[in-house]
Amino acid sequence: MAVTVRAESRVGDLQILAELRPEQPGFHLYSLTLPNGGIDGIGIPTRIRAEGGLRATGPATTDAKARVLRPAGLDVSLPVYEDGLVTLELPVRRLEGSDSARVFLTYGACSETAGCLPPVRDHEVTVRLGSAG
């Protein structure tokens, strides 16, 4: 999974943008809507959180198109995103005096025919805030 994270100011609001792209063809990132325990214990929901110099002011969102994935040999339907880049947006506020923050990502990906990739839990990325926000 290719992952990039940055802070961006938009019309006075500060956002953390996390871009995730499965690097293997046919693999799909699990949805933000997947329950915490997966479905029948299968799947890991995509999650993002900020610590340190930032605090979330709302839930993470994405405009990626959702679809249902039915892995071969399993009687389960999993909410995932269509092929390609998925950008998560997390609205945040900057804490006074902070010049960096830690962003944590949890994610996984699955294919209809090639199984699932090992889940990644709390992948930490340090984000320099500079003059953003």
Per-residue model confidence as pLDDT tens digits over 7-65: 998 777 899 999 999 999 999 999 999 999 999 999 999 999 999 999 999 999 999 99
pLDDT in the model for residue 72: 86
**CATH number of the domain bearing residue 95:** 2.60.40.1250
Flag whether 49 is in a domain: yes
In total, how many domains does the chain have?
A: 1
pLDDT in the model for residue 97: 83
pLDDT in the model for residue 49: 97
Burial of 56 (0-12, 13-18, 19+ CB in 10 A): middle
Flag whether 104 is in a domain: yes
Alpha-carbon gap, residue 117 to 24, rounded angstroms: 10
pLDDT in the model for residue 131: 58
